[in-house]
Each structure stands twice: as C-alpha cells, then as structure tokens.
Amino acid sequence: MDIKQFLDSTYLKTPEQAGLSYEENKKVVQGFILEAIEENFKLIMIRPDMVALAKRMITEAKSKVLVGTVIGFHEGNASIEEKLSEAKKAIEDGVDELDFVCNYELFKSGHINTVKEEILRCTQIGLSNHKTVKWIIEVAALSDHQIIQLSTLIKNVVIANFKEDCYTSVFVKSSTGFYQTENSKPNGATIPSIIMMLENCAPLPVKAAGGVRSYQEAMAMINLGVKRIGTSSAKAISEGLTTEDNY
C-alpha cells in the first residue's frame, strides 16, 4: 500500500494567518505544490485563488497530482449562491476536487431544508463537471449526535438524488483544521468522530482532516476505512515521522 495515495497535502493559510505578504505566502504555496509533485501525493489542497497556479505547475511537470480547493472556508456560513459562484470559478481554473464547508451552524439551528438544498446544489455542480466533492462537517463544532445526524443527512441527499456510481465521488470530511476549540480540545479528526462518520455516511467515503500528525495515526485512520487524509505534514507522515503541526 502506498500511503502517499491517501494523502491530500494541505496549505490553507491566508497571508494574514501566516503573518506573510501575499507574495511570500504564494511562495509557500508553490513550495507545497512542488513537494506534492516530487513526492507524488494524491492531491494538493490550496485556497481557491491558487488553483490556476497549481494546475499550471502540475501540468508543466506532467504530474498526476490532483488539485483540490475549499469552498465557503472556513466558517461555512456563505450563502448557497456564494458557494456555487466560488465553485464555478475554481472549476474554470481547473480544479479536480471541491471541499465544501457545510453550513453546520444552520444545521445545528434546525434549518434542515436549507442545508439539504446546499448539499444537493453544490454536489450537483461538482458531479456535473466530473469533480470529486467533499462535505466538511466540522466535527469539533458538533455533538456526537449531530455528527451522526449530519453524516446521515449528507448520505441521504446523495442517495436520493444521484446514481450509485457517483457515491464514491462524494466524501464526508471531518474538519477544516481552523475551528477554535476551548481547553485544548481536538479541532480535527479523532478516532471516535471518524468511526461515527464511517458508520453513518456509508456508502459515501470519509476523509479525515486535522489532527493526523504521524504515520501511525494515519495508518490507524486508513485501517478504520478512511479513504483520504488531509494534512499539512504529508511528507513527514509518508516518511514515518511525527509532526507538531496543528493540521
């Protein structure tokens, strides 16, 4: 098994979050893209404004690395139309995979029909353009019961509206890695949260993101049944090392 084909190498900091200028941050992004090409990771996950750059670099290198981006990041509270517009631009720029942040706060407040519409319409724009879609549910913001409910809701919307051969192209993903928790609680994937997702969104696949910091942790997730892992430390993990990075 090649663990690199499970790894989505990820860099999602804005210049402000990184304490860098736009050009300095762009160089960091380019470094992640080059590393993904050199290491042959499954995918490079970057902000929407860097998709065209990543696609160009990967095409020039004749690499098979996929390009992914995040939509509605990181709070997930953008409107459906805003998310669709952002996704459309990323598709035009050559993106391969779209990771939408589900509007989990609307879900928590009981606006289930709006969340269903968001899942349906955003999944549709992805699948109709032959893109993989992932739904970030932000497990750290949810109770165990809500993780189960939202994973089930996404599954039910997909099964009700799309053909079976599409199921493997719609993931449920644990986290953005940017959610602020209290008392140093995990803000990303945990074994219990991933088990709940796997049990309740099947046959849709699961992506574990945030908090996977070592080869051993990555393998534990893979052995549970996770199909992809989002991490800013893909190289270290692939080399069997442990990192202190927070994503």
**Residues marked as catalytic:** 99, 173, 207
Helix (H, G, I), strand (E, B) or coil at 17: helix
CB count within 10 Å of CB 83 equals 23
Distance CA 98, CA 213 (A): 23
Closest CA relative to residue 14, chosen from 41, 50, 53: 50
Contacts of 207 (CB under 8 A, 6+ apart): 8, 134, 171, 172, 173, 174, 226, 227, 228, 229, 230
The reply to whether omega before 74 is within 30° of 0 (cis) is: yes
Measured at the CA of 68, the angle between CA 111 and CA 144, to 5 degrees, comes to: 40
